[in-house]
Structure 1
Amino acid sequence: MQAFCLALLCLLAGVAHGAPAQQQRAYLSVIIDDLGQNPARDSRTLALPGPVTMAIMPDTPHATDFARQAHKAGRTVILHMPMDPATGPYAWHPGTPLPELEQRLNAALAKVPYAAGVNNHMGSRMTAQPEAMAWLMGELQRRELFFVDSRTSAATVAAAKAQALGLASLSRDVFLDDVRTPEAIAGQLRIAVELAHRQGTAVVIGHPYPQTLDVLERELPKLKAQGIELIGLRQMIGERSNRAMPAHGKGGIYR
């Protein structure tokens, strides 16, 4: 009886002092956009530690070579598809007939071999077009590709159309380098880490600026010690199960 009472007192003491709860797993995915323009910069991006995703623009001089190089290195490659207000031979614009959009998508995918998915380059006007976005998500479903909504505009319907169709998809949470200073970029990465701890996952997008690469080279190896696991996009899609995060929707539904 005495032993039982002692055990009970120890248990109550643990509750009173807040016995440590099991920590929620926290995951982070990193995408680097605008690749294919500069071999030295691309190679430095490819050398980043962990499963960082390479988003390659089709209208760049080294798009095809770098896509092959990144695939050979075991990295996930995605097509960084130009969308209005982006310009160029591959860019999508509001009012463009669907057959022309399809032709531009086909040509862009041919320039970026091994693409596992697509995200939008710019696109604040185009991703707000319901008909075109619905068509795109159906086409990606047919091709067994996923979609990442870069969320360059609050008016985007891209992720909502992907979710409605059941297409494997994600939405970006944090841009790393809208302000291109090491201090600002490191601050954005800290926000992403805090968000991952709070909601379980965070998806960040950056660019191959020297300042961004400096910060990522220094900080990515430290994530594990902060309780963050760096994962690829396919695993992140599984973790999120196409649910919207709180900032993107309510009850898991994109708005």
Structure 2
Amino acid sequence: MRFTLALALLCCLTGAAHAAPATPHKAYLSLIIDDLGQNLPRDRRVLALPGPVTAAVMPDTPHAAEFAREAHKAGKIVILHMPMDPATGPFAWHPGLPMDELEKRLDAAFKAVPYTSGINNHMGSRMTSQQPAMAWLMGNLQQRHKFFVDSRTSAQTVAAAEAQKIGLASVSRDVFLDDVRTEQAITTQLETAIKLAHKQGSAVMIGHPYPQTLAVLERELPKLKAQGIEWIDIKQMIGVRSNKAMAGHGKDGVYR
């Protein structure tokens, strides 16, 4: 009898040892702050945020190069925040501009913002729906070894879809934090991003260096770990998503 019980216990222990360990569901967040380069004291608060924030620097700002250097020195990923229609200015892309002018403006923008690893669009609701221009842009970025973040300022964007077609490292924004500039609204948007990360495994947030946004981020970001969230940089997020679209961006991993 004792031998039988001992044998049964041994079998149970052996089975437990060989059972696959439970893998906790991972939830990842990435954060991009847009419109940097305009105000150094303000923008330096972004660099002080406690984690891998991505600094999106506008080329037509007075401190673009200086802030990009500071962000790079601080270990932050720097990306070019490329103006696109309806944005204006000497770097802005507009439908109807010839391809050689688009290339000239892109070259100038990259020269204005050093240490860039990638690019995302500033505005661009009209431009990112232009398939020929977006296809050209993704090919150019691939030659430059840069990644692309689709800010998804328009439901008609084809930018991420064109990046996916050629296998360019890319990812899309899920949540804008501060379309409404109140701390209550921004906190709600951050909570939305956290819930989305738990639901689909990851979420990409974009915010701006508004005082209300920075106040919420300074207060709430240190709490992410306790909420089961892993805050990763945008390059890691591209790896996590493997260039696949989330449900809100497409179907079966393919961008619309």
Question: TM class by shorter-chain length?
Answer: over 0.9
Q: Tell me what 1:32 maps to.
A: 33
Shift, 1:107, TM fit: 0.3
> Could you list the per-position Cα deviations for residues 203-222 of structure 1 after superposition, in whole angstroms to 9, with x for gaps in the alignment?
00000000000000011110
Q: Which runs of 5+ in 2 are unaligned?
A: 16-20
Q: 1: CA distance between counterparts of 2:125 and 2:166?
A: 21
Q: Tell me what 1:74 maps to.
A: 75
3-state SS of 2:206 partner: strand
> Could you list the per-position Cα deviations for residues 23-73 of structure 1 after superposition, in whole angstroms to 9, with x for gaps in the alignment?
211110000000000011111111111000000000000000000010011
- The answer as to 2:177 corresponding to 1:176 is yes
Map residues 54-203 of structure 1 onto 2, 5 A cutoff: 54-203=55-204
Q: 2: CA distance between counterparts of 1:201 and 1:247?
A: 12
3-state SS of 1:135 partner: helix
Shift, 1:121, TM fit: 0.1
For residue 177 of structure 1, what is the amino acid of its counterpart? D
Q: Tell me what 1:210 maps to.
A: 211
Q: Which runs of 5+ in 1 are unaligned?
A: 12-19
Q: 2: CA distance between counterparts of 1:161 and 1:22?
A: 34
Runs of 4+ in 1 over 6 A off after TM superposition: none
For residue 164 of structure 1, what is the amino acid of its counterpart? K
For residue 238 of structure 2, what is the amino acid of its counterpart? I
Q: 2: CA distance between counterparts of 1:22 and 1:47?
A: 33
For residue 185 of structure 1, what is the amino acid of its counterpart? I
- TM normalised by structure 2 equals 0.93
Shift, 1:2, TM fit: 5.3
3-state SS of 2:29 partner: strand
Q: Tell me what 1:225 maps to.
A: 226
For residue 182 of structure 1, what is the amino acid of its counterpart? E
Work out the percentage of aligned pairs sharing the same amino acid.
Answer: 72
Q: 2: CA distance between counterparts of 1:199 and 1:44?
A: 30
Shift, 1:21, TM fit: 5.6
Shift, 1:91, TM fit: 0.2
Q: 1: CA distance between counterparts of 2:99 and 2:25?
A: 44
Q: 2: CA distance between counterparts of 1:121 and 1:49?
A: 25
- TM normalised by structure 1 equals 0.93
3-state SS of 1:58 partner: coil
Q: 2: CA distance between counterparts of 1:228 and 1:52?
A: 15
Map residues 37-48 of structure 1 onto 2, 5 A cutoff: 37-48=38-49
Q: Tell me what 2:18 maps to.
A: none
For residue 95 of structure 2, what is the amino acid of its counterpart? P
Q: Tell me what 1:15 maps to.
A: none
Q: 2: CA distance between counterparts of 1:22 and 1:187?
A: 29
> Could you list the per-position Cα deviations for residues 88-137 of structure 1 after superposition, in whole angstroms to 9, with x for gaps in the alignment?
00000001000000000000000000000000000000000000000000
Q: 1: CA distance between counterparts of 2:41 and 2:235?
A: 27
Q: 2: CA distance between counterparts of 1:95 and 1:56?
A: 25
